[in-house]
Structure 1
Amino acid sequence: MSDKLNVLIVEDEELARDLLKSYLKDHPQINLLGECENGFEGVQKINELKPDLVFLDIQMPKITGFEMLQLLDHKPEIIFTTAYDQFALKAFEFNAVDYLLKPFSKDRLLTAIDKVASRVANQENNAEKLERLSEFSTGRYLDRVVVKDRHKISIILTGQIRYIESLDDYVMLYTEDGRHMKQKTMKFFETNLDPNDFIRIHRSYIVNVAHIAEIQQYEKESYLVILKDKTKLKVSKSGYKNLKDTLNF
């Protein structure tokens, strides 16, 4: 393996990118592959160039740094660079290498790079760490979901989701205009969607309350949810209880 770290910058502010480049330009271990000004471009470049390390801003236009992490095939080390400190503790809990609060000094940056070099030298498995980072929640319920289909990235508002179906390590999101696969668990969506709007009705299904047309009994203690578009979904016993508790019937 090369002694150099291949590095990519994903940051929407030009001044912040320029400062990072000035700090990095004389570092003997750094090979700067390039820079991206938004998360869409970041996903493409990270999967294409496969950097060892990404300096990643959190609050960016289009998609956030955390949303970007969910779309990566290649799993680099991550150092967050941000002006917002409210994510710092959680970022460390979810295995970011480091978290640089703007404005940061060159010495502080060099300390962070040393941490990355140590991880890479020890060949630590980064895929699981990045998966935990991408599961990070700000503590608010999701209002959108970002999905990638080949080279196309779509932002789906949660209100557009009719229901979600479990597919082992993936889920299928059924929306008003089609369906989208996402590498997330049902548990993630059950935890992060507003329970007043989305109900787990079966181990295989989470349904948007706004799209329910009726709940129909078809056998003793067996029920179906029928959506407004006539889709029929099985309801488990615990799912029926969830429906009763949320809809008050």
Structure 2
Amino acid sequence: MSEKLNVLIVEDEELARDLLKSYLKDHPLVNLLGECENGFEGVQKINEWKPDLVFLDIQMPKITGFEMLQLLDHKPDIIFTTAYDQYALKAFEINAVDYLLKPFPKDRLLAAIDKVVERQGKQDHQIDKINRLSEYSADGYLDRVVVKDRHKIHILLTSNIRYIESMDDYVLIYTNEGRHMKQNTMKFFESHLDPHEFIRIHRSYIVSVSQIEEIQQYEKESYVVILKDKTKLKVSKSGYKNLKEALDF
């Protein structure tokens, strides 16, 4: 490999950033672009600078490393750096290049960089890889969702979500404050939202149980859900079955 790897560090602990910089300083294939101390800054710099590789901490204030990945337009290789070993197996399952458990020695980091160098030029599945990374929820059911609106990042509590609508490769998330577009699948939300709080009522809709005011029949075996704000949403046959099971009627 003749060209250098453009590298960015996203890590909230200064000591950890300094250690990474000292390890990377003299590497012949590394061009260190800079460092970020939180996920908000990381999103901005990754999309702006377009690094080849990001060293990414998982547990950070404001937004986590996994949440940050959901907001990226540019798709870099990712090496996770974290003190929490419960994420290790999942990190490999979702195809991160590597996972460094703090504290890690320099030779372990150099081996991780070798993996990146080996993978450079094999980018056929890069977009699919970052999607799998971003669709991992580290802590069971979601209690919040991060969305990007131009240059702003919003954190939506799931308790404020009224319903979710499918829009091809995106979803629209409706809250009392408005709606937000996010590049995720309905399947992701169906599996990552608490099924006691959210129900898939149609291939196009997931609805908050707390928002349901009425289930109304309008044709034979055809139903609509009416929400508290009077929004009407179609219910499929499988969706009606889901409603009956969840609401026990």
Common topology (TM > 0.5): yes
Aligned length: 249
1:126 lines up with 2:126 in the alignment: yes
Letter in 2 for 1:30: V
Look up the match of 1:49.
Answer: 49
Q: What's the offset of the Cα at 1:125?
A: 3.7
Q: 1:49-68 maps to which residues of 2 (within 5 A)?
A: 49-68=49-68
Determine the C-alpha separation between the residues in 1 that align with 2:176 and 2:130.
Answer: 31
Letter in 1 for 2:54: V
Unaligned runs of 5+ in 1: none
Letter in 1 for 2:101: L
Determine the C-alpha separation between the residues in 2 that align with 1:39 and 1:194.
Answer: 25
239-248 vs 124-133, which moves further: 124-133
Look up the match of 1:215.
Answer: 215
CA contact (8 A) 2:66 2:138 kept: no
Alignment TM-score, normalising by the size of structure 2: 0.97
Determine the C-alpha separation between the residues in 2 that align with 1:75 and 1:197.
Answer: 33
Determine the C-alpha separation between the residues in 1 that align with 2:180 and 2:3.
Answer: 40
Runs of 4+ displaced beyond 6 Å: none
Helix, strand or coil at the partner of 1:142 = coil
Q: What's the offset of the Cα at 1:140?
A: 0.9
Helix, strand or coil at the partner of 1:86 = helix
Determine the C-alpha separation between the residues in 1 that align with 2:34 and 2:139.
Answer: 33
Determine the C-alpha separation between the residues in 1 that align with 2:23 and 2:56.
Answer: 15
Look up the match of 2:77.
Answer: 77
Q: What's the offset of the Cα at 1:128?
A: 1.2
Unaligned runs of 5+ in 2: none
Determine the C-alpha separation between the residues in 2 that align with 1:175 and 1:166.
Answer: 15
Look up the match of 1:176.
Answer: 176
Letter in 2 for 1:161: I
RMSD between superposed Cα atoms in Å = 1.1
Letter in 2 for 1:39: G
Determine the C-alpha separation between the residues in 2 that align with 1:73 and 1:213.
Answer: 38
Determine the C-alpha separation between the residues in 1 that align with 2:161 and 2:124.
Answer: 37
Helix, strand or coil at the partner of 2:86 = coil
Q: 1:95-244 maps to which residues of 2 (within 5 A)?
A: 95-138=95-138, 140-244=140-244
Alignment TM-score, normalising by the size of structure 1: 0.97
Determine the C-alpha separation between the residues in 2 that align with 1:63 and 1:106.
Answer: 28
1:102-147 residue CA offsets vs partner (Å, 9 max, x unmatched): 0000111100001101111444542111111111133611111000
Helix, strand or coil at the partner of 1:87 = helix
Helix, strand or coil at the partner of 1:6 = strand
Letter in 2 for 1:160: N
17-26 vs 139-148, which moves further: 139-148
Determine the C-alpha separation between the residues in 2 that align with 1:67 and 1:125.
Answer: 21
